[in-house]
Amino acid sequence: MNIESAMILNERESRKEHLLTVARQMMTAARTAPKGKGMDIIEVAMVTDEDINRLSEEMLRIHEETGLKFLIRDSENIQSAEAIIIIGTRQQTHALNCAHCGYATCAAKPEEVPCAINTVDVGIAVGSACATAADLRVDTRVMFSAGLAAQRLGYLGDAKCVMAIPISASSKNPFFDRKPKEK
C-alpha cells in the first residue's frame, strides 16, 4: 500500500458535507415527486447557517403574536439542524372543479383559498424528500412552524403552504422526544 495515498476520514469531520449532499438529494426528490395534472408549481430550497438563525428568530416573533408555545421549542430545536429543506407551492387552480377546496368549482373558489391539489402536491413532495432522507439514514422532522416562518420571510418568494424539514445526523434524532418549552 502506498503510504502517500492512505487516508483516514473521521465521520465527524465529513458530517456537514455529507448532510448538505443529502439535502440536495432531498430537493431533487421533492422536485421529481408526482404533481397534480403534471403541473410543476412546487418551490424548493435549502436553508443553512445564518438563515437558520433568521428562521428561528421569526418563529419567536410568531410566538409573540400568537402565543403558540410550541414555536419556542421548535425555534430552539431547528438550531440542531445542519440544513433545513423548505417546500411550498405557488397558488394555481387546476381547473378540475373537484370541490376538494370546499367550493363546487374553481371559478367559485375565492382567490385567498388555496387549491387543494396544490396542498396535496406539497405533501407528496415532502414525503418524497423525507423518504430520501430515511433511505440515507438522516434524521428529519416535518415542521409546519418553521415552514410558516420561512413563508413569512419570503424564502420561497410568494409560495404558500410552506413546510420545513430540518435534517441532522447525530447519535439521537434531536427533532423527536422534545419537551415543551415554557415562556
Q: For position 181, what pLDDT does the model report?
A: 57
Helix (H, G, I), strand (E, B) or coil at 38: helix
- The pLDDT of residue 87 is 98
Q: How far is CA 182 from CA 78, 94, 125, 133, 169, in A?
A: 17, 43, 33, 31, 27
| Reported pTM | 0.89
Nearest of 27, 44, 36, 34 to residue 129 by alpha carbon: 27
- Residue spans of the domains in the chain: they are 36-168
pLDDT of residue 99: 93
Indicate if the pLDDT at residue 1 is higher than 70. no
pLDDT of residue 92: 87
Check pLDDT > 80 for residue 180.
no
Beta-carbon count within 10 A of 48 CB: 14
The string over 85-111, giving b where at least 16 C-beta atoms fall within 10 Å of a residue's C-beta and e elsewhere, is bbbbbbbebbeeebeebeeeebeebee
Per-residue pLDDT tens digits for 38-78: 889 999 999 999 999 999 999 999 999 999 999 999 999 99
* % of the chain surpassing 90 pLDDT: 75
36-168: CATH topology: NADH Oxidase (3.40.109)
Inform me whether the pLDDT recorded for 174 exceeds 90: no
Secondary structure element (H or E) that encloses residue 164, with its range:
strand 160-168
Give dist(CA 151, CA 157) in Å, integer: 8
| pLDDT tens string 83-109 | 999 999 998 888 899 999 999 999 999
pLDDT at residue 162, rounded to an integer: 97
Provide mean pLDDT across the span 102-119.
Answer: 91
Residue 141 has pLDDT above 90, yes or no: yes
Beta strands in 96-156 (DSSP E): 139-140
User: Bridge-partner residues for 83, per DSSP?
Assistant: 167
- The helix/strand count (H/E) of the chain reads as 5, 4
Count of CB atoms situated within 10 Å of the CB of 73: 18
Query: Which three cell numbers, joined as nine digits, stand for 105?
Result: 368549482
pLDDT for residue 77: 93
Which pLDDT belongs to residue 62? Answer: 98
